Amino acid sequence: MNFYDITIDEGRRRKFACGHLEEIIPIKKERRSCPDCSGLLGKNYFQLFNDKNWNAKMYMDREHYADFMSYLVYPIVSEKAKEVLTENFGDAVDFGDIEMVSYRDLTVEKLKDIRDTFGYPAVKKIPNDPPQLYRLLLKQGADLDFEKSNIKLTLDCLTCGSRVYDTPYFEYSAEHGKIIFTPTVYIKESTWKGYDIFHVEGYGSTVFCTEKFIEIYNQHKLTGLRFLLEYLKVETI
């Protein structure tokens, strides 16, 4: 069994749209410290994004759409992708609603904030009629061999349940203009739950898939993903 790391394709000649929240969530202000580990109690951003009941309000930063796009590092998908995923991988996927926000819906204060942060051209690119998109919610689908993958569990608090990992990521050299280090993760095949697209504990929002997922993706001519080994190599043991 071969597994692959999925990367969002930002678009090479013309960039695909990305999602942005209408309002910044004051998630840190709503969290308090654990008395034993000092870790923050409550949901982190990954848990919030994967909360099916989260009322996410999002605008897009341009009108060039793919079937798979992103809000930060989290996948959002088109109606077409939702239908294909539901039909072929219904046991592995779920979806969270997004209340799509148009240029007309944004307040003067928000538009000014976008202009001050990204520049006036960014304001002009916000679409008036964005398509309906959905948050792609995935399950933990397999276990990693932490030792072989060089992942260290640095915090495992019995009081609040916080688990923090020291996880290796790729290294990019601006001087050489290329990636100079690509980590390898080792998935224990015996722990695979049969999902063709999934997360693993220890690698946060990173998405993994099987060859079947890639075949279905290509068969239905979906867009917005890359299946390369530039950023992460995946081995099965």
Q: How many domains does the chain have?
A: 1
Q: How confident is the model at residue 29 (pLDDT cuts 50, 70, 90)?
A: very low
Candidates 98, 100, 190; CA nearest to 142 is 190
Q: Is the pLDDT of residue 161 over 60?
A: yes
Q: Is the pLDDT of residue 117 over 50?
A: yes
Q: How confident is the model at residue 40 (pLDDT cuts 50, 70, 90)?
A: low
pLDDT tens digits, one per residue of 130-149 = 999 999 999 999 999 999 99
Range of the domain at 162: 3-236
Phi, psi of 185 (to 5 degrees): -110, 150
Average of per-residue pLDDT across 72-87? 95
Q: What are the residues facing 100 on neighbouring strands? A: 58
Measured between alpha carbons, how far is residue 203 from residues 148, 207, 222 in Å? 14, 9, 25
H-state helical runs in the chain: 45-49, 79-89, 108-118, 120-125, 211-219
Q: Is the pLDDT of residue 36 over 90?
A: no
| 44 or 110, higher pLDDT | 110
- Displacement of CA 2 from its chain's centroid (Å): 21
CB 96 within 8 A of CB 55: no
